[in-house]
Amino acid sequence: MLAEFISSIENEAVHHSLEIGAYEALWANGVNSFKQLRDKLSASNESHLSHLVSASIAKQYYDKTLHRLHDAGIDHFGVRIEGTFDYPAQLQDAEYPLSLFYFQGIWDLVYTPGVAVVGTRKPTAEGISRTKRLVKTLVAQGYTIYSGLAAGIDTAAHQTAIECGGRTIAVTGTPLWMTYPKENASLQREIIKNHLLISQVPIVSYEEKGIAFTRSFFPERNITMAALSKATIIVEASETSGTLKQAKAAIKQGRPVFILNNNFENPQLTWPKKLEAMGAIRVHEITDILQRLDHGTAISENQ
């Protein structure tokens, strides 16, 4: 079976430039969600996006993509395409698997065991402290830290992983040419240079559509992060946080979701108990996480 799969891939040449061009062309001409893109591909019974767009249009949008990235000073980037041997198999667990996405940095980090540490953009001081303690412990246990490069918990997670000599992967809700928030520019450069940054956001059409369109990429990247990582840990989150979409996606994908106990103790929050009822795990100590992930370091979450 494996030999047949490899043979089928080898016999079907995938032209990366045409796939990139087709991806960008489809987003620029009517596609507004990953569900729409997946439905369009499924309805066509085709295996690649380039089969949905003429070669001339794909080439036109590929050139536009390179031009936009070159203007931003980006001359080196990578792409992963569904159906090729280096496409991460775990992404197939997502409800609408990505047909294509971009990356910068050390690709092989995606093959290391990773845990997503996520939360609010406006954390409490205790939330930042909890994030740092948690990430230090996970790094010591050999885990790569996934997060979304947003302000707050995400930033603390990435920075702590780097400071501890660990590995980190940023899954962003913005195109490669953009830094958001702007104050994370140096952090983003460090991740690209020595770690890994992943973006599923189209490059050409991002600026041409409204804020409702661009905002949608943040919760969508959370779904991707849930699929790529072994588990998701929520440090702090509001009632409307995109983190909650990641938690629901992870549960649906069969990944563990851990919620730090401080969220349950906040009387203003209703989501912790709702997610617990769906299968999320309440965390009193970091051992609650490590034991589930087949580790046994005894460190209290409150220390």
- Distances in Å between the alpha carbon of 282 and those of 80, 103, 274? 35, 33, 12
Over range 181-194, report the average pLDDT.
98
Q: What is the pLDDT of residue 1?
A: 39
Q: How many CB atoms lie within 10 A of CB 181?
A: 15
CB 255 within 8 A of CB 239: no
Q: What is the pLDDT of residue 181?
A: 96
Q: At a CB cut-off of 8 Å and minimum separation 6, what does 262 contact?
A: 126, 127, 130, 236
Q: CA-CA distance, 12 to 302, in Å (whole number)?
A: 54
Q: CA-CA distance, 38 to 22, in Å (whole number)?
A: 13
Fold classified for 108-292: Rossmann fold (3.40.50)
Q: What is the pLDDT of residue 14?
A: 66
Domain spans of the chain? 2-104, 108-292
Q: What is the pLDDT of residue 208?
A: 84
| Residue 143 clears pLDDT 60, i.e. is over it | yes
Q: What is the pLDDT of residue 302?
A: 36
Give the model's confidence band at 33: pLDDT under 50 very low, under 70 low, under 90 confident, else very high. Answer: very high
| Residue 211 clears pLDDT 90, i.e. is over it | no
Over range 272-282, report the average pLDDT.
97
| Residue 157 clears pLDDT 80, i.e. is over it | yes
Q: What is the pLDDT of residue 212?
A: 75
Distance of CA 83 to the CA centre of its chain: 19
Of 151, 201, 212, 152, the closest CA to residue 172 belongs to 201
| Residue 280 clears pLDDT 70, i.e. is over it | yes
Give the model's confidence band at 13: pLDDT under 50 very low, under 70 low, under 90 confident, else very high. Answer: low
Q: Which of 58-62, 79-83, 230-234, 298-302 has the lowest mean pLDDT?
A: 298-302
Q: What is the pLDDT of residue 129?
A: 97
Q: What is the pLDDT of residue 114?
A: 97
| 85-113 pLDDT, tens digit each | 999 999 999 999 999 999 999 999 999 99
Over range 220-240, report the average pLDDT.
97
Query: Regarding predicted confidence, which is higher, 211 or 224?
Result: 224
Q: What is the percent of the chain where pLDDT is above 70? A: 92
Query: Regarding predicted confidence, which is higher, 91 or 295?
Result: 91
- Structural element, H or E, at residue 142: none
Query: Regarding predicted confidence, which is higher, 98 or 297?
Result: 98
Q: What is the pLDDT of residue 3?
A: 35
Residue-averaged pLDDT of the chain: 91
- Kindly state the DSSP code that residue 143 receives in the 8-state scheme: P
Q: What is the pLDDT of residue 207?
A: 86
Q: Which of 5-9, 164-168, 232-236 has the lowest mean pLDDT?
A: 5-9
| Residue 11 clears pLDDT 80, i.e. is over it | no
Q: CA-CA distance, 71 to 133, in Å (whole number)?
A: 40
